[in-house]
Amino acid sequence: MGVEMSGNTFGKLFSVTSFGESHGPAVGCVVDGCPPGLALSVSDIQAELDRRRSLIETSLSYRNEPDQVEILSGIFQGRTTGTPIALLIRNQDRRASDFTRIDRVFRPGHGDYSYQAKYGIRDHRGGGRASARETVARVAAGAIARKWLNETYGTVIRGRVSQIGEMVIPLRDWEDATRDNFFLGDRNRVDDVAILLDHFRQSGDSIGCRLEIVADGVLPGWGEPVFDRLDADVAKAMMGINAVRGVEVGDGFAAVGQRGSEHGDEMSPEGFLSNHAGGVLGGISTGQPLVVSVAVKPTPSVHLPRRSVDVAGNPVVLRTRGKRDPCVGIRAVPIAEAMLAVVLMDHALRDRGQNGSVQESRMKAPFFRALA
């Protein structure tokens, strides 16, 4: 749902234009379309950036300073003015020495080869634009969306890791889904996961995971049929996160094995009686919680030998060195939350544009209130 051609803008009315490479001077974004009057400070954004930093990243010596965001525009006397909000995060460590070995080879599972094919040139340092470093910009933008949604509609967006490899982690309590708990949602499983991650760290391999993102307080009526369905834009937002390979809304792939009499959510005067749809029908929100599930592939950089080629087409064997996240998907939790916030805010504003008068009356109708 981005609107310019080269794909670095997401959102139509609330839109985020991202820039920056892993080892260039900075990453950041321009957030356009934010309504005026929202109280916004550096700390609102900084809190989300800190959540994004993985535990491994925090412990790494070469990037041990927190990401400091600077607001360059769009704020006056502590409030948004309706003009673009530019956010800047300097890259603290830009030592290129680590990357001399990868400038002429294509790492398996990375975008090295496809970038080279597309542009005929690539900034190989740390993965350049393809690095997860870029997601700092998304988390920063998402912090604004999250705050506006919460203050305007009471919307709350939460995410967690619901599965790592074969280990399924049922939700115990959303309060447990903190960064220190690997965003698990069950503090009692933290030790299990720590052991599992250590295992992969020591074996030099990595593992995939599944995330669950839920938005409560979504008003009915958000989403634009037919192409810009709310769930379609959510799917795009999630699949656009580095390493994501699958997206589900509501029951997702479980619906393949379900019957219509089971899947279709019945209604009563008090509201819906189930939520197999995950909060979206016909591409438009129903007012029920929006439930999204995401598959994240294992970190492609492993310490095991991997066959590849160099830019001249000669065979090589690669082996990544140094500290690496064995499960890169864990820190995607705040990124997925941020993208969901951006999608929801964009659609809330778009709905107000076309259906502003309906939006008002909608909230006054007793029945919709009951369901919402």
Enclosing H/E stretch for 350: helix 332-364
The two three-digit tokens of residue 155, written as one number: 């919307």
The least CB distance from residue 19 to its own copies, in Å, is 4
Q: Is residue 268 part of the contact set for its own copies (CB under 8 A)?
A: yes
From 45-53, 76-84, 140-148, 176-184, span contacting its own copies (CB under 8 A): 76-84
Minimum CB separation of residue 88 from its own copies in Å reads 7
Question: Which residue lies nearer to its own copies by CB, 175 or 305?
Answer: 305
Out of 40, 130, 193, 196, the only residue in the binding site for its own copies (CB under 8 A) is: 130
Smaller CB separation from its own copies, 61 or 268? 268
What's the CA gap between 142 and 85, in Å, rounded? 12
CA gap 54, 65 in Å, rounded: 13
Q: Which is nearer to its own copies, 175 or 295 (CB)?
A: 295
Say whether 267 sits in a helix, a strand or coil.
strand
User: What's the min distance (Å) between Cβ of 233 and its own copies?
Assistant: 7
The yes or no reply on residue 62 touching its own copies (CB under 8 A) is no
Q: How far is the CB of 254 from its own copies (least distance, A)?
A: 8
Candidates 51, 52, 129, 331; binder of its own copies (CB under 8 A) is 129
CB 87, min distance to its own copies, A: 10
Give the nearest distance from C-beta 196 to its own copies in angstroms: 12
Site for its own copies (CB under 8 A): which residue of 265, 290, 333, 338?
A: 265
Q: Please give, one letter per residue, the 3-state secondary structure of 136-177.
A: HHHHHHHHHHHHHHHHHHCCEEEEEEEEECCEECCCCCHHHC
C-alpha distances (whole Å) from 218 to each of 37, 91, 113, 137 are: 22, 35, 40, 24
- Of the candidates 136, 157, 197, 295, which one interacts with its own copies according to CB under 8 A? 295
The β-bridge relationship of strands 306-309 and 290-296 is unpaired
Residue of 106, 148, 182, 183 interacting with its own copies (CB under 8 A)? 106
Residues 175-194 close enough to bind its own copies by CB under 8 A: none
Q: List all residues 6 or more positions away from 370 whose beta carbon is below 8 Å from its beta carbon.
A: 269, 270, 271
Give the nearer residue to its own copies in terms of CB position, either 125 or 175: 125
- One-letter amino acid of 303: H
b/e for 290-327, b at 16 or more Cβ within 10 A? bbbbbbbbbbbbbbeebebeeeeeeeeebebeeebbbb
Span of 39-47, 52-60, 80-88, 143-151 interacting with its own copies by CB under 8 A: 80-88
301 binds its own copies (CB under 8 A): yes
Instruction: Tell me, by CB under 8 A, how many residues bind its own copies.
Output: 168
Q: What minimum distance in Å lies between the beta carbon of 160 and its own copies?
A: 14
**The dihedral of CA 90, 94, 99, 105: what is its sign?**
positive
C-alpha 328/C-alpha 297 separation (Å) is 8
Question: Which residues ranging from 203 to 262 are in contact with its own copies (CB under 8 A)?
Answer: 205-210, 220-229, 231-240, 245-262
Task: Name the minimum Å distance from CB 48 to its own copies.
Answer: 18
Q: Which stretch binds its own copies (CB under 8 A): 50-58, 170-178, 182-190, 200-208?
A: 200-208
Which residue of 59, 68, 92, 361 would you call a contact of its own copies, by CB under 8 A?
361
Smallest Cα–Cα separation from 147: which of 156, 139, 137? 156
Helix (H) or strand (E) holding 113: helix 112-119
